[in-house]
């Protein structure tokens, strides 16, 4: 009984605080003189009153104790979720996440982790990170952190335990391949900085290549430094900027990157929202590095936000050729607003418009379907715009590349091997058996290595269902529902046997594809993310296509000319 009274007293204090805030809001709205504003204010006050009344009744009568902070946070999250996925409330405890998104920096051990079964595994330590220096390896299963078991914890909870102030120590107990007993490892946390440019180098003949993975506050300076070095040391004649998988980040960094390649004074992007005073045009404010070098920007479905500003600007100004797949379609701008108790509201305040005047937002959050779902902006209401040279481009639905390349899909068996972590596990096993390998540029996964892989997977579960089998299964089920099955039972059985997949046969059939995937995963284990990118660049179809365009001046110019 005493415990219950204590809870009620604590809750009452929160209730009193809430009431004071509510009355303050009420007074603020009442003082408004504008008639329409008064109407809106009354609706706001009325609904805040309802919200408070519901909370008060729950607090007094709900069967179990209510934690005020949790239930109010749930209400806030649900409210914001009804708007769009990018408008979110960030409490003080999550401020580090904002710092990481904008700077690429955080205090921790420097490793990618992933949930697997009951535990979390080290997917890959970063190169030269505290984790790598301390001897943590890919595949290590985290059992406990500072003596606290992490069994059944989410990867987010484990990440919270691993992060901390630089120069503090954290003790990990891990299960490791080849060790009979758990391994205890002490790691000294450091300030971890993830580079926005994980790799740059030379591809083809005199073509520079820059991979840009994010738009943190150093993205433009990293791209600038990479480009200057490529020109100075290799005298490049063309450039490929790879934005695939880049989710975006800081708008101003996108502006600065465009400014490297377009003339001073050119409009790069503009933003327009509810608050007219915040509407702004972003123009190239500095002298560019190079406005003549041939340029290809590679994008895919995961290229979003700031990535789309860069790709869209380069396309609209006919400054270069965009290659790949249609981009994600996020044309919304977020602003952070400080809240009480050190919280932050990240709120969508505007839409952005690239130089042609189009907005590439794909989903219409303002007009949801009856069931609450969000639909894509239909092609029928997309508007036509023109690039600087007069080429036709359209709004809504992301940036459509000048040269579209269909993604080469992996076979079902290769996909299954990846999803089931068998490729990952074998790469770790391979590293356990081989202390070192040849450099990235010359490494070869041999047929002999493949036979060892075949032996490794003999007892592994990685079954799958081909699309043909799935379609046939659906057809059989439909025939049974409609009572046609008995008429064609023998034929169905023949088809089922004919289309049944054979894992051993498929392993041989897709051997080269599997070897390619294995090679890249193994390279990452020895040479980290940079090594994986270097290896992947060699046989990348989109990069090969980009080089082909850059090496053919007539083709390059033809793409940028308006079509008759």
Between 18-27, 344-353, 459-468, 475-484, the lowest mean confidence (pLDDT) is in 18-27
Residue 25 has pLDDT above 70, yes or no: no
pLDDT of 446-458, one tens digit each?
Answer: 999 999 999 999 9
Residue showing tokens 């074998």: 426
Per residue in 358-380, pLDDT tens?
Answer: 999 988 787 777 666 777 776 66
73 or 266: whose pLDDT is higher? Answer: 266
User: How many other β-carbons are positioned within 10 Å of the β-carbon of residue 499?
Assistant: 13
Q: Is the pLDDT of residue 555 over 80?
A: yes
3-state secondary structure of 265: coil
Q: How far apart are CA 358 and CA 352, in angstroms?
A: 8
What pLDDT does residue 2 have?
A: 43
What distances in angstroms separate CA 282 from CA 222, 271, 464, one per listed residue? Answer: 20, 8, 50
Rounded-to-integer distance, Cα 101 and Cα 109, Å: 17
Which residues, 6 or more positions from 346, have their beta carbon under 8 angstroms from its beta carbon?
86, 87, 88, 89, 90, 98, 334, 335, 336, 337
Residue with tokens 């007009």: 367
Is the model's pLDDT at 52 over the cut of 50?
yes
Split at pLDDT 50, 70, 90, the class of 126 is very high
Per-residue confidence band for 444, with pLDDT thresholds at 50, 70 and 90: very high
Reported as type and span, the H/E element at residue 14 is helix 2-30
Ramachandran sector of residue 209 (left: φ over 0; alpha: ψ -120 to 50; beta: rest): beta
> What was the pLDDT predicted at 35?
46
Domain 199-407, CATH among 3.50.50.60, 3.40.50.1820, 3.40.50.1100, 3.90.226.10 = 3.90.226.10
Q: What percent of the chain has pLDDT over 90?
A: 69
Q: Exactly one of 84, 140, 242, 316 is catalytic; which is it?
A: 316
What is the rounded end-to-end Cα distance, in angstroms, of the chain?
83
- Binning pLDDT at 50, 70 and 90, where does residue 37 land? low
The reply to whether 330 belongs to the active site is: yes
- Distance (Å, rounded) from C-alpha 49 to C-alpha 29? 13
Least confident span in 22-36, 185-199, 263-277: 22-36
pLDDT score at 564: 64
Average pLDDT over residues 287-292: 97
Distance CA 218, CA 209 (A): 18
Q: Which of 330, 431, 525, 530 is catalytic?
A: 330
Q: How confident is the model at residue 381 (pLDDT cuts 50, 70, 90)?
A: confident
Q: Say if residue 40's pLDDT is above 90.
A: no
Residue 299: per-residue pLDDT: 98
Q: Whole-angstrom Cα distance, residue 24 to residue 285?
A: 44
CA distances for 37 relative to 170, 258, 278, angstroms: 54, 42, 21
pLDDT band at 12 (very low <50, low <70, confident <90, very high): very low
Q: How many Cβ atoms are within 10 Å of 350's Cβ, its own excluded?
A: 20
The pLDDT of residue 11 is above 90: no
pLDDT band at 8 (very low <50, low <70, confident <90, very high): very low
pLDDT of residue 532: 96
Give the domain 105-193 fold: Pdz3 Domain (2.30.42)
Q: Quick check: 134 pLDDT over 60?
A: yes
Mean pLDDT taken over the chain: 89
| Rounded distance between C-alpha atoms, residue 164 and residue 150, angstroms | 17
Q: How much is the pLDDT for 318?
A: 98
Lowest mean pLDDT among 84-98, 136-150, 231-245, 386-400: 84-98
Eight-class DSSP state of 486: G
What band does 92 get if pLDDT is binned at 50, 70 and 90? confident
Identify the CA nearest to 336 among candidates 163, 48, 102, 160: 102
Q: What is the pLDDT of residue 521?
A: 97
Tokens of 56: 């008060």
Task: Choose between 199 and 65: higher pLDDT.
Answer: 199
Residue-range domain boundaries for the chain: 2-82, 105-193, 199-407, 412-464+502-548, 467-499
Read off the tokens for 26.
Answer: 């009420």
Among 270, 305, 307, 356, the active-site one is: 305
pTM score of the predicted model: 0.85
Closest CA to 240 of 321, 183, 162, 317: 321
The packing angle between helices 412-419 and 511-538, to 10°, is 70
């Amino acid at each position: 009984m005493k415990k219950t009274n204590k809870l009620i007293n604590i809750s009452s204090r929160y209730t009193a605080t809430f009431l004071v805030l509510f009355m303050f809001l009420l007074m603020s709205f009442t003082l408004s003189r504008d008639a329409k504003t008064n109407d809106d204010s009354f609706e706001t006050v009325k609904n805040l009153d309802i919200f408070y009344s519901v909370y008060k009744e729950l607090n007094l009568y709900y069967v179990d104790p209510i934690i005020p902070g949790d239930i109010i946070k749930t209400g806030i999250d649900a409210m914001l979720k009804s708007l769009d996925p990018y408008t979110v409330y960030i409490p003080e405890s999550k401020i580090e996440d904002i710092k990481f998104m904008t700077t690429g920096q955080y205090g921790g051990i420097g490793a990618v982790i992933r949930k697997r079964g009951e535990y979390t595994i080290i997917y890959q330590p970063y190169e030269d990170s505290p984790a790598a220096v301390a001897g943590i390896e890919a595949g290590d299963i985290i059992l406990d952190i500072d003596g606290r078991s992490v069994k059944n914890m989410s990867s987010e909870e484990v990440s919270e335990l691993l992060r901390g102030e630089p120069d503090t120590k954290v003790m990990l107990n891990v299960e490791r391949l080849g060790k009979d007993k758990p391994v205890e490892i002490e790691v000294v946390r450091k300030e971890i900085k993830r580079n926005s440019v994980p790799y740059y180098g030379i591809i083809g003949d005199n073509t520079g290549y820059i991979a840009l993975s994010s738009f943190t506050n150093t993205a433009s300076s990293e791209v600038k430094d990479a480009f200057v070095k490529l020109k100075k040391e290799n005298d490049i004649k063309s450039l490929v900027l790879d934005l695939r998988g880049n989710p975006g980040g800081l708008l101003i960094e996108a502006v600065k990157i465009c400014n490297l390649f377009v003339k001073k004074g050119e409009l790069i992007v503009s933003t327009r929202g509810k608050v007219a005073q915040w509407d702004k045009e972003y123009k190239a404010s500095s002298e560019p590095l190079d406005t003549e070098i041939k340029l290809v920007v590679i994008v895919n479905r995961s290229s979003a936000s700031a990535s789309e500003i860069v790709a869209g600007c380069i396309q609209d100004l006919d400054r270069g050729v965009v290659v790949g797949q249609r981009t994600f379609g996020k044309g919304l701008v977020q602003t952070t607003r400080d809240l009480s108790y050190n919280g932050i509201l990240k709120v969508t305040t505007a839409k952005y418009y690239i130089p042609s005047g189009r907005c590439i937002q794909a989903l219409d959050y303002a007009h949801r379907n009856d069931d609450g779902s969000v639909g894509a902006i239909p092609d029928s209401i997309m508007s036509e715009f023109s690039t600087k040279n007069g080429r036709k481009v359209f709004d809504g639905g992301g940036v459509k590349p000048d040269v579209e390349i269909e993604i080469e899909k992996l076979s079902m068996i290769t996909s299954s091997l990846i999803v089931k972590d068998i490729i990952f596990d074998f790469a770790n096993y391979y590293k356990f058996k081989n202390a070192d390998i040849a450099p990235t540029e010359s490494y070869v996964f041999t047929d002999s290595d493949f036979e060892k892989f075949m032996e490794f997977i003999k007892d592994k579960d990685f079954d799958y269902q081909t699309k043909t089998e799935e379609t046939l299964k659906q057809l059989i089920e439909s025939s049974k529902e409609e009572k046609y099955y008995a008429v064609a039972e023998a034929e169905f059985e023949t088809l089922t046997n004919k289309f049944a997949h054979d894992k051993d046969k498929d392993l041989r059939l897709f051997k080269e594809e599997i070897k390619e995937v294995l090679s890249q995963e193994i390279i990452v284990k020895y040479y980290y993310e940079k090594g994986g990118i270097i290896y992947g660049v060699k046989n990348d179809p989109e990069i090969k296509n980009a080089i082909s365009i850059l090496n053919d001046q007539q083709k390059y110019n033809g793409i940028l000319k308006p079509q008759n």
